[in-house]
A and B are shown apart, each in its own frame.
Chain A
Amino acid sequence: MIIGSPAPIGQIVLLHLSPSRAEALARILRSGSHRVTVVRPGPGAVAAIVAAAPDLLVGPLICGEVTLSELADQARQQMAADLTVMAILGREDADAVVDTDGIVREPVDAGELLFRTGRLLRQAVERRALRHRIDELLGLYRVASWAFSIAGGAESLFGHLARQSAALLKAEKGLVILYDAQRREMEGQNAGYGLTREQVARVRYPVDGEARSLWNFRLNGPLISNNARSDPRLLPEIAAALDISSLVVVPLTRGPQVLGLLVVADRLGRAPFRDEDLGNLQAVAGQATVAVENQRLHEQIKEANARLQEYDRIKSEFVATVAHDFRSPLMAIRGFAELALEEPDLPVERRNEFMRTIITETDDLASLANDTLLISHMETGLLQYDWTPVDLRRELKQAIPAVVSQHTFLLDVPDAFPIIKADALRLRQVLNNLVSNAVKYSPGGGTVTLRARERGKDQVLVEIIDEGLGIPEDQVGRLFQKFERVRGLEHMKISGTGLGLYICKRIVEGHHGRIWVESTAGEGSTFAFSIPVDPALHEPQEAAPDRAGHSSVS
């Protein structure tokens, strides 16, 4: 059937009470190449009309008990489709009011019948095309109205798109496939229409591979395939997973960027897909892209919001720290500066003492600011590790303070020690911190040992051992937490921010390692950490040794 051709050929149902008259009229219509079914008015008439699925119904105004229009209405309802009606008016119907689409009068002239039939059929074809277009627009409207609503969440959105697209093309299956930019993969989105979750879950494939088809994403154009199982443009395993024989695929694009694919498969009744289906689906894809974008933005806003809240918490903590922990050093700096300024008669050694205190307190403030800032960066994920080859022996050697002190330093590293991969700057920070703690908390002097060992094939163990104050067993647990220090009278005389070990822990964990301490109060402490030789090999760590008489904590 071709739209706009001068004489369309149609399926016609002819109702007539007299079989001979019906046969005569049918012959005329058949001469115009129309397919004609003669139906006798009566109880089975509606069912017969529906079965014939005609484009045009022709009959007398009164068909037994009912009018031609009533009969046509019943048939329309059962067919859920349009039906054009033409009445044949007898001589007795000269004054009848007629509500059909067209009429011919008895005696029927063959040429007139064919002419009027042809005109009505053309109208019917045009009306059907119009109806089809309205259905499409309604479908688009349904997709679009959803596109701006994100209330249902991602899953129901993709399910809706799949269902509406399939409905528009009168197909059994529909699916949205999206591109995951982080994993560089295409991924089927639950829930598809007419597909099980297991089937959808199998739609997952990388897009870096060979550009065989739209399925692997390189071809940005749309595609129709009516032999999906053997079509070389398709990934056979995906077609098999979805159990489909024919499909239409259009990309969801925003500018040059492909966000994903909209797939409709297997037409109801296994009819093939045509070019016009592609156009319809492409129209849906435009709306679907908006919906998908909306959905993504919504997710991003939600994520960003959660992240902002976390940042806000960290910022508040930072501000609180500044407001609180900066006050004592500030007071000392201010007070000693005032004294030095206001007391001209101070002995030089007193004045120098004040100045030295100002300098050390300023240093404390600076390191407090640095540590707090570093921790903020760590906790907000802004800290990036820079992996480079590191010579641990050299780093340990450099961690030994250059100034003369009452401590003896012992470097204990095997000769053939492997070069490891680590962030040199951060690792140095850990070593300096642990060594300066070892010195600070052994005010009586003694030996500080810096030891490194290989541990298994791909781990290194570093230990910093002192003979100082040690740590009471009940306090070992909280030492690596923020702002926690050993609470002991001797310990408290030594200044510290309570941030150093927390930073060490974060850095070691950033290297996929772990840190712990073994200590006996009054005898000294061993701070130890183990990290992989290469951060790429970050398997879970084995537990720390827990020797008798020692406390250990991770």
Chain B
Amino acid sequence: MAKKRVLVVDDHAPTVALVRAILDAEKHTQYEVVEAASGTECLKAADQKGPFDLILLDVNLPDMDGFSVCRALRSVETRVPIVFVTAQGDLKDFAAGREAGGDSYLVKPISRNSLRSIVGLLTNIDRSGARELSKT
């Protein structure tokens, strides 16, 4: 089975290391994790290292906010699932995340199981959705 490719965007290095460690520990699916510590790095990686099966995106990034990053991603790539993983948990942030084109919005701290299930779910939905899209 092909590796699922996940882009993790967060300026908090231990969070990125944790996501990598959790996905590495998955037994039935293999993940390839690509890291980005800023909005610029994220857009560059999406452009040069894609395609990805899933993007986990922080909101509070050093150079730009995650919503702008999401909009920029969506302007070129509509299919990839984008999940916000952030410390910002206001209702207005949820709404902004959906408006920017995000598929889900998770507020830290997230348990290992929550992360596993959402990553597993979205990487599979994306594949079937991509297949359907490619038919049309």
What are the residues of chain A within 8 A of B109 when measuring CB–CB?
Answer: 327, 330-331, 333-335
User: Smallest distance from the beta carbon of A484 to chain B beta carbons, Å?
Assistant: 11
Assess the A327–B107 pair: CB atoms within 8 A. Answer: yes
The answer to whether the Cβ of A495 comes within 8 Å of any Cβ in the partner chain is: yes
Complex: A251 Cα to B109 Cα, angstroms: 65
* Given A324-B87, A361-B14: A336 in contact with B38 (beta carbons within 8 A): no
Assess the A339–B22 pair: CB atoms within 8 A. Answer: yes
Assess the A357–B37 pair: CB atoms within 8 A. Answer: no
Complex: A495 Cα to B110 Cα, angstroms: 20
Type the 1/0 row for A337-351, where 1 means its CB is closer than 8 Å to any CB of B. Answer: 011001100000010
User: Smallest distance from the beta carbon of B19 to chain A beta carbons, Å?
Assistant: 8
Assess the B112–A328 pair: CB atoms within 8 A. Answer: no
Complex: A166 Cα to B88 Cα, angstroms: 66
Assess the B25–A492 pair: CB atoms within 8 A. Answer: no
Type the 1/0 row for B104-121, where 1 means its CB is closer than 8 Å to any CB of A. Answer: 000111111001000000
* Given A335-B112, A488-B62: A357 in contact with B88 (beta carbons within 8 A): no
The answer to whether the Cβ of B32 comes within 8 Å of any Cβ in the partner chain is: no
The answer to whether the Cβ of B89 comes within 8 Å of any Cβ in the partner chain is: yes
Type the 1/0 row for B1-40, where 1 means its CB is closer than 8 Å to any CB of A. Answer: 0000000001111110110011001000000000001101
Assess the A343–B87 pair: CB atoms within 8 A. Answer: no
The answer to whether the Cβ of A183 comes within 8 Å of any Cβ in the partner chain is: no
Assess the A338–B112 pair: CB atoms within 8 A. Answer: yes
User: Smallest distance from the beta carbon of A210 to chain B beta carbons, Å?
Assistant: 66
* Given A332-B12, A332-B18: A489 in contact with B112 (beta carbons within 8 A): no
Assess the A492–B38 pair: CB atoms within 8 A. Answer: yes
User: Smallest distance from the beta carbon of A490 to chain B beta carbons, Å?
Assistant: 10
Complex: A69 Cα to B81 Cα, angstroms: 109
Assess the B14–A357 pair: CB atoms within 8 A. Answer: yes
When the two chains form the complex, which single residue of B11, B25, B63, B110 contacts A331, counting CB atoms closer than 8 Å? B110
What are the residues of chain A within 8 A of B21 when measuring CB–CB?
Answer: 335-336, 339, 350, 354
Complex: A350 Cα to B24 Cα, angstroms: 12
The answer to whether the Cβ of B47 comes within 8 Å of any Cβ in the partner chain is: no
Assess the A487–B63 pair: CB atoms within 8 A. Answer: yes
The answer to whether the Cβ of A493 comes within 8 Å of any Cβ in the partner chain is: yes
Type the 1/0 row for B50-62, where 1 means its CB is closer than 8 Å to any CB of A. Answer: 0000000000001
User: Smallest distance from the beta carbon of A79 to chain B beta carbons, Å?
Assistant: 80
What are the residues of chain B within 8 A of A495 when measuring CB–CB?
Answer: 12-13
What are the residues of chain A within 8 A of B107 when measuring CB–CB?
Answer: 327
* Given A324-B87, A331-B18: A493 in contact with B110 (beta carbons within 8 A): no
Which residue of chain A is the closest to B40 with respect to CB atoms? Answer: A489
Counting chain A CB atoms within 10 Å of each CB, the highest count among B18, B22, B25 belongs to B18
What are the residues of chain A within 8 A of B63 when measuring CB–CB?
Answer: 487, 489
Assess the A492–B89 pair: CB atoms within 8 A. Answer: no
The answer to whether the Cβ of A325 comes within 8 Å of any Cβ in the partner chain is: yes
What are the residues of chain B within 8 A of A329 when measuring CB–CB?
Answer: 12, 14
- Given contact pairs A328-B15, A331-B18, A489-B62, enumerate 17 new A-B contacts (beta carbons under 8 Å): A324-B88, A325-B87, A328-B10, A330-B108, A331-B15, A332-B14, A332-B15, A333-B109, A335-B21, A335-B111, A335-B112, A338-B112, A339-B21, A357-B18, A489-B41, A492-B11, A492-B38
A-B contacts, 16 of them at CB < 8 A, read: A324-B87, A324-B88, A327-B107, A330-B108, A331-B15, A335-B111, A335-B112, A335-B115, A354-B21, A357-B14, A488-B62, A489-B41, A489-B62, A492-B11, A493-B13, A493-B37
